[in-house]
Amino acid sequence: MLTVISAGSVYLVNKARSDNAWVVHTIEVENQVNALLLEIRRAESGARGYLLTREPEFLADHEAAAAAVLPALDQLSRLTADNPVHLDNVGKLKAAIGIRLDQFSREMDFVKQGKPERAVALVREDAAADTTATIRQIAQAMMGEEERLFTLRTANADRSQTLAASMTGIGSGLVVVLALISTGLVRRSARARDEAEARLRDANLNLEATVDSRTADLREANAEIQRFAYIVSHDLRSPLVNIMGFTSELEELGRDVFRRIGGLTHVPAGGPPVAANEADELPLEAPDKQLSRDFSEALGFIKSSIAKMDRLISAILNLTREGRREFEPVNIDTRELIAGIVETLAHQAAEAQAEIRIGELPDVVSDRLALEQIFSNLIDNAVKYLRVGVPGEIAVRGRTKLGYAIFEIRDNGRGIDPRDHQRIFDLFRRAGTQDKPGQGIGLAHVRALVRRLGGTMSVSSELNAGSTFTVTLPIKWNASNRNAEP
């Protein structure tokens, strides 16, 4: 906008200047016309003076004037070259002046030849022809034309100047207004920015406080769960000891009872009661034998269930204990660590005809024991769940990305149904054919460890197409991303 206004005012100023130039030009043309007429008059009066007096000064005067006429005419025609009206007039003027000059020269010739009467006659004739009047008329017409142009151009110039002045005025006004507006806008946006900054700062503080309190809550909840699991599993054990203990006592009692029954019912004729020292082969009658078997079977189920429950409780206890263990970050040569694990699994691997290859592995700073548990569980699983009759190929590889070390344990084993990919990480859950011993703890444990080490883990697998477990751990684990334990 300002550009348009300044361009406009520059244009207008230029126009005013050119209009002024035109006005000046008009005045020049008028001057020139006057000068031309003056010269012609001078020539005429010189000629007349010479005719009357024959004084050579008049002749010289006439000749100087006559000589000045043509250049003045040329000058005029140059000046008026732009105006078609003038062009026409200048043409006529030229012709008239030519005739007049011709007359002058003839007059002068007659005078010089000593025929003044002829010159006088000629003068008279000339006056009758009225060339001078014609010249004057044409000059007058030109002056009129110039007068008209002068008025026009003056008006033009005035208008241009007024326009330019008002344009400049408007422009200045606009500049002032715009400056005021922009100052206001800048001030307002600065204020808005300050407010936004203050709000952002507040929000940040709030956010940090919120995050802190949420984190504290989560840690609290996590610790609570850990304590809960620990206490529950611990306290569950106490009654279990009793159940198992008294079940065993009951077993003992039952044996005693059936031995006595045997002794009472199976009295050999006349003989002493049978010595009840052969514990398993009690001399019982068929129905009593059946009772004894049922009794033992019931107790057997109770005992095996107790044993299973004890294993589960122990597993939970171990997990919570792992959760409470403080991690200690040390530099770990991952390749060496994995090679050690592979060595301990060499026997199982040989039995399963599996080959374990160790590829490139990035070193990390982490907890050694946790890492050992993670990788030995995963590699052990890979060896354990191979396909029957297919030689195992297990590969351990690693790479780094953005501060994280990514490890892959790939096998060509039986694979895991995608539906079970989430389940296998749950405690006590297993997937696939249940033909190997296990509690369903390994992967739950591994995932808990990986999480505590600030990492993530995932599996990609298809049934009968092998599995790849991916463990992502921070290259440099330190106490700051450790779970705060109470």
Tokens coding 153: 């151009």
Is 298 a binder of other proteins (CB under 8 A)?
no
Is 248 a binder of other proteins (CB under 8 A)?
yes
Amino acid letter for position 361: L
Site track 304-323 with other proteins (rule: CB under 8 A), x = hit: --xx--x------x---x--
Which residue's CB is nearer to other proteins, number 426 or number 485?
A: 485
Tell me the backbone φ, ψ of residue 397, rounded to 5 degrees. Answer: -135, 165
Scanning 15-23, 157-165, 170-178, 241-249 for contacts with other proteins by CB under 8 A, the matching segment is 241-249
Scanning 45-53, 68-76, 229-237, 378-386 for contacts with other proteins by CB under 8 A, the matching segment is 229-237
Q: Which residue has 């002032």 as its token pair? A: 176
Sign of the dihedral through C-alpha 105, 109, 111, 117: negative
Long-range pairs, 477-484, Cβ under 8 A, ≥24: 477/327, 477/329, 477/364, 477/365, 477/366, 477/367, 477/453, 478/329, 478/365, 479/329, 481/454, 482/327, 482/452, 483/219, 483/222, 483/452, 484/219
Residues 321-350 that bind other proteins (CB under 8 A): 321
Is 175 a binder of other proteins (CB under 8 A)?
no
Shortest CB 315 distance to other proteins, Å: 13
List b or e across 103-137, with b for residues whose CB sees 16 or more CB atoms inside 10 angstroms: bbeebbebbeeeebebbeebbeebeeeebbebbbe
Residues 69-88 that bind other proteins (CB under 8 A): none
Q: How far is CA 244 from each of CA 313, 314, 315, rounded to the nearest angstrom?
A: 14, 15, 18
Which residue's CB is nearer to other proteins, number 106 or number 324?
A: 324
Which residue's CB is nearer to other proteins, number 154 or number 247?
A: 247
Is 279 a binder of other proteins (CB under 8 A)?
no
- When binding is defined by CB under 8 A, the residue of 246, 285, 298, 428 that contacts other proteins is 246
Which residue's CB is nearer to other proteins, number 163 or number 244?
A: 244
Tokens coding 280: 């398993």
Which residue's CB is nearer to other proteins, number 244 or number 395?
A: 244
- When binding is defined by CB under 8 A, the residue of 137, 222, 247, 296 that contacts other proteins is 247
User: How many residues sit in the footprint of other proteins (CB under 8 A)?
Assistant: 19
364-367 and 392-401 beta bridge pairing: unpaired
Is 242 a binder of other proteins (CB under 8 A)?
yes
Scanning 98-106, 213-221, 230-238, 452-460 for contacts with other proteins by CB under 8 A, the matching segment is 230-238
Q: Are 322 and 230 in contact (CB under 8 A)?
A: no
Shortest CB 228 distance to other proteins, Å: 16
Is 163 a binder of other proteins (CB under 8 A)?
no
- When binding is defined by CB under 8 A, the residue of 114, 184, 245, 486 that contacts other proteins is 245
Q: What is the DSSP string of 106-146?
A: HHHHHHHTT-HHHHHHHHHHHHHHTHHHHHHHHHHHHHHHH
Residues 386-445 that bind other proteins (CB under 8 A): none
Q: Are 58 and 50 in contact (CB under 8 A)?
A: yes
Shortest CB 441 distance to other proteins, Å: 17
Q: What is the DSSP string of 414-457?
A: S---GGGTTGGGSTT---S---S---S-HHHHHHHHHHHTT-EE
Which residues of the chain form contacts with other proteins (CB under 8 A)?
A: 234-235, 237-242, 244-249, 306-307, 310, 317, 321
